């Protein structure tokens, strides 16, 4: 998605070789109109899949998931990272390991909102090591629902999450794939291919 | 907003006299099309206020805020409840006390995204004791920005947050005001007035 690459190039900042700051439109400040375009693009790619539910993870996954939900006309469920006062019974849980924080976190969704008849699209803001995606996929499996695919806004293709998922025949659609952030320069997979 | 009252009446559940579960469209599962209507309603109420920025709190405030942002054509910033890897410098912080969890939590936004020229609309999912709203307002004040008003999806009018804010001449627009949840029955302020 060219507009996203352009946005990352002009507003993103590689804080290190593997940390990308996109706080101006995705992770902290949100550009609603641009995120609407993101949702339209995910919907375009998955429109023939008869999706019945979108699952994401709070907080930065919510906006792209909801924007896709509007276009596909389906409900969105965001997995919680902490216990909620009103969400305690009938939980489907999964454990997500964070390499940056070096800790595992339990994430959960309510079994009220996903079941064996669902065809699920997982949406998230980033894909790096794939831990969050795997955690979400596990919950889809525990609910006996069918995973249709994974939509990612920005994939760090220099980490191995995307590769592992695709090797396991999971359909992964990343709207931008970064091949390198060495020396603060953001390079996309398509550009790498041209060299 | 009649459609919201109807949604709360059919899908909401009073777990106790002061805990309302609306996990099917707002706090866990999100109904994107309905939330779009919520955004349109906030935009209608605040459209003449020359708003330049919307501030909310992760996670459940994000969707109503972003939907309003689309309508008003402005950027949204969500305050974070925990430290982020890419959000460390130039933080504006505030402390929010949770009566249910009996603890204070520091929330933060980046000073990159709010300044003294901003006319700010605060959006949140719930208003009860007003602690979250006060925390967000404090950050607006610390940024020397101007608070235009507060948009709330569901106000628990039997708690005193809304009253305190209005006494301090803050414009609070709540799309649904619940006057009581005694004995599991949800009553709205308008109905109370009719008795």
Q: How far is B42 from chain A, CA to nearest CA, in Å?
A: 15
pLDDT at A126 over 70: yes
Q: Picking from A58-62, A102-106, A134-138, B26-30, which range would have the lowest pLDDT averaged per residue?
A: A102-106
Query: Range of A141's domain?
Result: 2-83+90-194
A131 touches chain B (CB under 8 A): no
Burial class (CB in 10 A: 0-12, 13-18, 19+), A167: exposed
Domains: count for chain B: 1
Close Cβ partners of A131 (under 8 Å, ≥ 6 residues apart): A96, A97, A98, A99, A161
Task: For residues A36 and B55, give the distance between their C-alpha atoms in angstroms, rounded to a whole number.
Answer: 19
pLDDT at A118: 98
pLDDT at A87: 62
**Cβ separation B84–A27 shorter than 8 A:** yes
Grouped pLDDT means (10 residues each) for chain B, 195 residues? 97 95 96 98 98 97 98 98 74 90 91 97 97 97 98 98 97 98 95 70
pTM: 0.96
Q: Which of A63, A112, A113 sits opposite B62 (nearest CB)?
A: A63
pLDDT at B195: 59
Residue B125 CB neighbour total at 10 angstroms: 21
pLDDT at B9: 97
Q: Which of A58, A86, A113 sits opposite B58 (nearest CB)?
A: A58
Length of chain A: 195
pLDDT at B85: 65
Interface predicted TM-score (ipTM) of this complex, two decimals: 0.95
CB B80 within 8 A of CB B110: no
Each residue of A151-164: pLDDT tens digit? 999 999 999 999 99
Each residue of A68-116: pLDDT tens digit? 999 999 999 999 998 766 667 789 999 999 887 788 999 999 999 999 9
B78 touches chain A (CB under 8 A): yes
Residue B120 CB neighbour total at 10 angstroms: 25
Task: For residues A86 and A82, give the distance between their C-alpha atoms in angstroms, rounded to a whole number.
Answer: 12
Residue B47 CB neighbour total at 10 angstroms: 11
pLDDT at A82: 82
Best mutation target among A27, A59, A70, A72 (most B Cβ atoms within 10 Å) is A59
pLDDT at B28: 96
CB A75 within 8 A of CB A41: no
Closest-CA residue to B134 (of B103, B170, B159): B170
pLDDT at A102: 85
On chain A, the residues whose CB falls within 8 A of the CB of B24 are: 112-113
Each residue of A19-53: pLDDT tens digit? 999 999 999 999 999 999 999 999 999 999 999 99
Residue B34 CB neighbour total at 10 angstroms: 17
User: What CATH number is given to the structural domain containing A13?
Assistant: 3.40.50.2020
């Amino acid at each position: 998605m060219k507009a996203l690459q352009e946005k990352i190039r002009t507003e993103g900042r590689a804080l290190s070789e593997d940390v990308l700051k996109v706080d101006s439109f995705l992770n902290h400040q949100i550009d609603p109109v641009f995120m609407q375009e993101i949702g339209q693009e995910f919907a375009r790619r998955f429109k023939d899949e008869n999706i019945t539910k979108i699952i994401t993870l709070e907080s930065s996954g919510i906006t792209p998931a909801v924007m896709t939900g509007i276009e596909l006309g389906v409900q969105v469920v965001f997995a919680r990272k902490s216990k909620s006062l009103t969400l305690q019974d009938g939980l489907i849980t999964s454990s997500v390991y964070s390499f940056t924080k070096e800790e595992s976190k339990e994430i959960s969704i309510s079994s009220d909102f996903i079941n064996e008849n669902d065809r699920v699209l997982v949406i998230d803001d980033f894909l790096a090591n794939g831990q969050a995606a795997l955690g979400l996929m596990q919950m889809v499996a525990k609910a006996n629902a069918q995973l249709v695919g994974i939509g990612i806004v920005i994939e760090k293709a220099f980490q191995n999450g995307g590769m592992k998922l695709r090797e396991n025949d999971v359909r992964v659609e990343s709207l931008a794939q970064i091949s390198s952030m060495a020396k603060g320069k953001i390079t996309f997979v398509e550009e790498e291919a041209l060299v």
